[in-house]
Amino acid sequence: MENKDNKNSNMAITAKGLKFLLVGLVVIVAGYILMMGGGSKDPQVFNYAMFNFQRLVAAPVVIILGIVIEVVAIMGFFNDKEDK
């Protein structure tokens, strides 16, 4: 007969998954930090710095990478040999 307490003590997310969640959150925040800036102090002057590679390509790619890390952490696609 199985121990019912052992069955209920398993959490939906493991310690490794929680670490992945935190890493994904840091990566997403880093993407938003990359997207900051490019404004102009004078509203009458147009600043082309907002159309550079960092804001148009790098930041969205970093944010999408963070979201992928979050999905992997939630779905648990990795093998957690510690629990077995």
pTM: 0.75
Domain ranges of the chain: 13-75
**65: Cβ–Cβ under 8 A, 6 or more apart, which residues?**
27, 31
Average pLDDT, the chain: 83
Three-class secondary structure assignment of 27-43: HHHHHHHHHCCCCCCCC
Q: pLDDT per residue over 12-45, tens digit each?
A: 778 888 999 999 999 999 999 999 987 778 888 8
| Alpha-carbon dihedral 43, 56, 58, 77, rounded to 10 degrees | 120
Say yes or no to pLDDT of 68 above 70: yes
- The encoded tokens of residue 9 equal 């003590």
pLDDT of residue 61: 98
Under the banding of pLDDT at 50, 70 and 90, the label for residue 8 is low
d(CA 32, CA 51) in angstroms, rounded, equals 15
